[in-house]
Amino acid sequence: MQGINNQSSSNIFMKTNYTSNKDTAVSEKANVSDVQNTNSSNTESSIVMSLEEIQKYLEDSGIEDDTGTRAKDLYSLQEFIGKVDDETYTRMFDALNVEKNTSYASMRYSSFPNSDMLDENPRMFHAIIETTLAMEDTTHALIFTLDLKAVLSNQRQDNTSMGKSASSKPPSLDLDVDFDMMTLMGFLKKKMEELEESAKDGLDISEKNFINDYTALLENYKNVDMSTIYPAVNLSI
């Protein structure tokens, strides 16, 4: 796991000292570019900050954080630095900051797949991130992620009960879909059959959302470019 100690990461990540700008008009929707130093090679990119620095950044930027949970979520988000590309990290960072209050920021943070998913199945991780970040409704994004996690978790439990490892891999490296995606496709097939049966009475909003969400997920999964999702590494350092 990528460390977030800004001393040990000093060769890769630039650190900025923040000064108060309370006398300067600031946008209610802060952009990570204000606190990020990114060059074309991505070797000096997302800033690693202490919790206190993040708290100061939020205060100076006029971003609401009465409970302090937004700062803690942004601090925890730094575990993805060095594990995802700059653009993806920036979008995740910005998504937390544009939420109107800390409650919604926490929901948005919880809608992200965790680092275990990134380690076990980076393609699925990026497909989920693309899908949820495109959802403007934060509650909708969280419900989708929780439902998806339940689907994949239940299948892993079924495999374990059948004597298979919970981390079973596809039987052949030549397969272009991973185990979790095969699980998901089976679930979707069953769900679509159920929806087809009820379609004669019309689909409700939740059913329409289901179709749209999982269609987007499958499309994003197909479009993930595995050759570009990892951050560039400067081996000369």
Is 237 among the domain residues? no
Q: Are residues 96 and 167 in the same domain?
A: no
Domain co-membership, 92 together with 123: no
Question: Quick check: is 214 in a domain?
Answer: yes
CB 44 within 8 A of CB 37: yes
Residue 39: which domain range?
Answer: 1-110
Are residues 147 and 37 part of one domain? no
Q: What is the pLDDT of residue 62?
A: 96
Q: Are 42 and 95 contained in the same domain? A: yes
Neighbouring residues of 220: CB distance < 8 A, sequence distance ≥ 6? 126, 127, 128, 130, 131
Same-domain check for residues 15 and 126: no
Instruction: Tell whether 106 and 145 lie within a shared domain.
Output: no
One domain, residues 125 and 164: yes
pTM above threshold 0.85: no
195 CB-near residues (< 8 Å, 6+ apart): 203, 207, 210, 211
Same domain, 105 and 157: no
* Residue pointed to by tokens 């594990």: 83
The reply to whether 213 falls in a domain is yes
List CB contacts of 183: < 8 A, sequence separation 6 or more.
151, 152, 155
Output the tens digit of pLDDT for each of the chain's 237 residues. Answer: 333 333 322 222 333 343 333 333 334 444 444 444 433 333 334 678 999 999 999 999 999 999 999 999 999 999 999 999 999 999 999 999 999 999 999 999 999 999 998 998 899 999 999 999 999 999 999 999 999 988 887 765 555 454 544 444 443 333 445 667 887 888 888 888 888 787 777 788 888 889 899 999 999 998 998 877 655 545 444
Instruction: Report if residue 16 sits inside a domain.
Output: yes
- Tally the domains of the chain: 2
CA 188 to chain centre: 22
